[in-house]
Amino acid sequence: MTNSQRLLVVRNSLRNWMSGRHAGEADQAEPLSEAMLIRGGFFRGRRFRFLNYQAVWFIEEDELKVHDREGSVVAHFQGEQIDRLAEAAADPSSEVRETLSLTEHLQDVTQAAESAGDEQAVAEQPQRRVA
């Protein structure tokens, strides 16, 4: 399995775990942001930020830790546990969501703020240029 394939499994696992914690609140299951973890010039994993949680996936250890706002570990998954959690979320009718580029993400955030009538939030959005 490639790193990108494993990352998809980890994302699905997190979505399933978050959906179980926040039933009926689909937006709670989607990360607000995602970042690559690099140490010493090497890719080490990903960090996912949610409204009330933060999750870190360490690629070498194939370990996923979910922390609450205070930093306490509230869930810990490794290898096969991640696979089982992702399989539990697998639904043939579910739509696979692609990773957005930075430009697409900023457009989504701006559109959401505009549709909510939050002109202040739109005005405060950083202006980014894409080459």
Residue 85: count other Cβ atoms within 10 Å of its Cβ: 21
130 and 112 in one domain? Answer: yes
The C-alpha atoms of residue 29 and residue 95 are separated, in whole angstroms, by 14
pLDDT tens digit string along 45-82?
999 999 889 999 999 999 999 999 999 999 999 999 99
Residue 96: the pLDDT is 46
83 and 36 in one domain? Answer: yes
30 and 8 in one domain? Answer: yes
70 and 27 in one domain? Answer: yes
70 and 35 in one domain? Answer: yes
Residues 6+ apart with CB under 8 A from 107: none
Round the average pLDDT of the chain to a whole number and report it: 79
Residue 19: the pLDDT is 83
122 and 58 in one domain? Answer: no
Residues paired with 48 in a beta bridge: 34, 55
69 and 18 in one domain? Answer: yes
83 and 68 in one domain? Answer: yes
* Domain of 130, in residue numbers: 100-131
Given a contact cutoff of 8 angstroms between Cβ atoms, the answer to whether 29 and 18 are in contact is yes
pTM: 0.62
pLDDT tens digit string along 22-43?
666 666 778 899 999 999 999 9
